Amino acid sequence: MADPIRIFIGSGEASRIERQVAIDSLQRMTDRPLAITVFNGTHNALEVLGEPPRPAPMSLRVKYWNATEFSLYRFLIPELCGYQGRAIYIDSDVVCLHDIGELFDTDLKGADFLAKAEAYPDRAGALWGLSVVLFDCDRCRFPLEQFIDELEAGVYDYRDLLCMGPRFLNKHPYQIGALDPRWNSFDFADRETRLIHYTDLKRQPWKRPGHPYGDLWFKAMQQALDSGILTDTEISQAIKRFNVRDDIREGNRPRWLTRQRLRSWLRQVKQQLRPVKV
């Protein structure tokens, strides 16, 4: 049997629902064995299905610099893999639409890791998207304590670190290769998309209805429920904690939204039918 594909998912207690949906989609789309580890930033813990959680090797000093619950945990991956082999990092707010083995087997062409190139064209500077990363763990070393020293000294800023900006790379010249953009498609999916990433925090389907590709996520949520990876009890708990919207069970177009849109359409029609004053 082939060695399992090592996958690390950035998450926390508040993102449990989307995390379970992501895990189910990863497993459903491949016949290859997966070794999935969850970074639970809420508890500074590593979680593997069927095993008790264990502490992540991150100091509180570094943890307090996390922009989200899990921002800096991806840099632990080479160390956790013993600086050997390959590993994939994925944010939790995704749905996998293709065999993740294709990404794992991608030719790195001598790069230390692959990330999304020019991920944020609306922002100044050449920035990389590290929400999906393929690491060559043999080549990667991420001294987090040193990074924090340099942040505090103003050598570069936090965005430079998280997005591998020019000032950070001047200090730490990692060789970054361009990830096939189909493996990190921001809020869009077509026949070629390998993985959709719901990046717009104000429009994520589990938080707000009507996302253009929300139906895709809710289909994946139902599949996760059917497989048992996600439970209705977990959904109820997430609703009580205000981590997901309270009408999440109604899907991407809840009844109230349909009525609201109908009323809006009727108002527009009435305005168009009003006689024009001359």
Concatenated DSSP letters for the chain?
-PPPEEEEEEE-GGGHHHHHHHHHHHHHT-SS-EEEEEEETTTTEEE-TTS--EE-S--HHHHTT-SSSSGGGGGGHHHHTTT-SEEEEEESSEEE-S-HHHHHT---TT-SEEEETT--TTSSS---EEEEEEEETTT----HHHHHHHHHTTSS-HHHHHTT-HHHHHHS---EEEPPGGGSEET---TT-SEEE---TTT-TTTSS--TTHHHHHHHHHHHHHHTSS-HHHHHHHHHTTSS-TTGGGTTS-HHHHHHHHHHHHHHHHHHHSPPP-
Q: Higher confidence at residue 268 or residue 11? A: 11
Sorting pLDDT into bands at 50, 70 and 90, what band is 212? very high
Domain positions in the chain are 5-252
Class of domain 5-252: alpha beta
pLDDT over 80 at 125, yes or no: no
Lowest mean pLDDT among 1-15, 112-126, 217-231: 112-126
Q: What's the predicted TM-score (pTM) here?
A: 0.90
Sorting pLDDT into bands at 50, 70 and 90, what band is 258? low
pLDDT over 80 at 189, yes or no: yes
pLDDT over 90 at 162, yes or no: yes
Other C-beta atoms lying within 10 Å of the C-beta of residue 215: 13
Model confidence pLDDT, tens digit, residues 52-108: 999 999 999 999 999 999 999 999 999 999 999 999 999 999 999 999 999 999 999
Residue 278 has a pLDDT of 39
Q: Higher confidence at residue 117 or residue 256? A: 117
